[in-house]
Amino acid sequence: MATLEIRDLHVSVEADNATKEILKGVDLTVRQGETHAIMGPNGSGKSTLAYSLAGHPKYTITSGTVTLDGENVLDMTVDERARAGLFLAMQYPVEIPGVSVSNFLRTSATAIRGEAPKLRTWVKEVKETMTGLQMDPAFAERNVNEGFSGGEKKRHEILQLELLKPKIAILDETDSGLDVDALRVVSEGVNRVRETGEVGTLLITHYTRILRYIKPDFVHVFAHGRIAASGGAELADKLENEGYEVYTKGGASA
């Protein structure tokens, strides 16, 4: 079973000619087959964790380790991370002008699998997955994220997730901007992937809404750049009722 291990991760950014530490010692282990939810208030560093794992150049790892099956993720290029089985869906996905969804998916699958998927089975696989996500087939010919609505971007992410079958998936605010029907459709996609037992999922959110559809095995509260508390699915209900204040009081954020 693949395991993502984050140990005492400290991350800084350069902002206004000063170095600002955002992650202050994150410890987290995600195993293939497990579903973890990270919840926490705005600005607590959740997306910074996702960007750091993705290898975004703006975020400097000042100390700590990240390994996938014992291999140092922080040494890997963005491509190598994807090939190693890491999948990252960002809160604000980028547009790729001139590249269609269908080309993008096939190129990604080829890079990750090490060989081009057989065209006939691939086309069928894409079609079926799009149907499952209630996406119009015409969507496959559009340029990646160009003019996509918020909900379309999120469906496109889950389409990638289902087709690329990573070992560990990090989904940042996959629920934001979704109407109730889209939330259900997207959640069903995540659950399909989960039921394979072959993907470990880290779901970043600040609403418990999505957790009605996707029952996490573990819930972690993020505050001031680290995990302040961990528990089971019941912790999400507690947060819904009580808010984050008990975790954010005291330590000033900046």
Ligand X SMILES: Nc1ncnc2c1ncn2[C@@H]1O[C@H](COP(=O)(O)OP(=O)(O)OP(=O)(O)O)[C@@H](O)[C@H]1O
Window 150-169: residues binding ligand X (CB under 6 A): none
Contact (CB, 8 A) for 166 and 160: no
Work out how close the CB of 243 gets to ligand X at its nearest, in angstroms, rounded to a whole number: 14
Contact (CB, 8 A) for 40 and 235: no
Q: Would you count residue 13 as binding ligand X (CB under 6 A)?
A: yes
Comparison of 91 and 191: residue with beta carbon closer to Mg ion: 91
- Whole-angstrom Cα distance, residue 219 to residue 233? 6
Among 45-53, 135-143, 178-186, 243-251, the segment contacting ligand X (CB under 6 A): 45-53
Comparison of 138 and 254: residue with beta carbon closer to ligand X: 254
Q: Which does 127 bind (CB under 5 to 8 A by kind): ligand X, Mg ion, none?
A: none
Window 85-114: residues binding ligand X (CB under 6 A): 91
Burial per residue of 169-179, b for 16 or more beta-carbon CB atoms within 10 angstroms, e otherwise: bbbbbbbbebe
Q: Which of 12, 35, 48, 248 binds ligand X (CB under 6 A)?
A: 48
Work out how close the CB of 51 gets to ligand X at its nearest, in angstroms, rounded to a whole number: 7
Work out how close the CB of 112 gets to ligand X at its nearest, in angstroms, rounded to a whole number: 26
Residue with tokens 């000063």, as numbered in its chain? 18
- Whole-angstrom Cα distance, residue 240 to residue 143? 38
Residue with tokens 């993502």, as numbered in its chain? 4
Q: Which does 52 bind (CB under 5 to 8 A by kind): Mg ion, ligand X, none?
A: none
Window 79-98: residues binding Mg ion (CB under 5 A): 91
Comparison of 37 and 126: residue with beta carbon closer to Mg ion: 37
- Whole-angstrom Cα distance, residue 43 to residue 37? 17
Kindly list the strands in the beta sheet with 35-39, ordered across the sheet, starting from the edge strand earlier in the chain. 86-89, 168-172, 200-205, 35-39, 218-223, 226-231
Task: Please report how the helices 150-164 and 119-132 are oriented relative to each other, as an axis angle in degrees rounded to 10.
Answer: 140
Q: Would you count residue 44 as binding Mg ion (CB under 5 A)?
A: no
What sign for the dihedral angle of Cα 191, 193, 196, 201? negative
Comparison of 181 and 242: residue with beta carbon closer to ligand X: 242
Q: Would you count residue 121 as binding ligand X (CB under 6 A)?
A: no
Q: Would you count residue 174 as binding Mg ion (CB under 5 A)?
A: no
Q: Which of 12, 32, 35, 47 binds Mg ion (CB under 5 A)?
A: 47
Binding-site ranges for ligand X (CB under 6 A): 13, 15, 22, 40, 42-48, 58, 91, 206
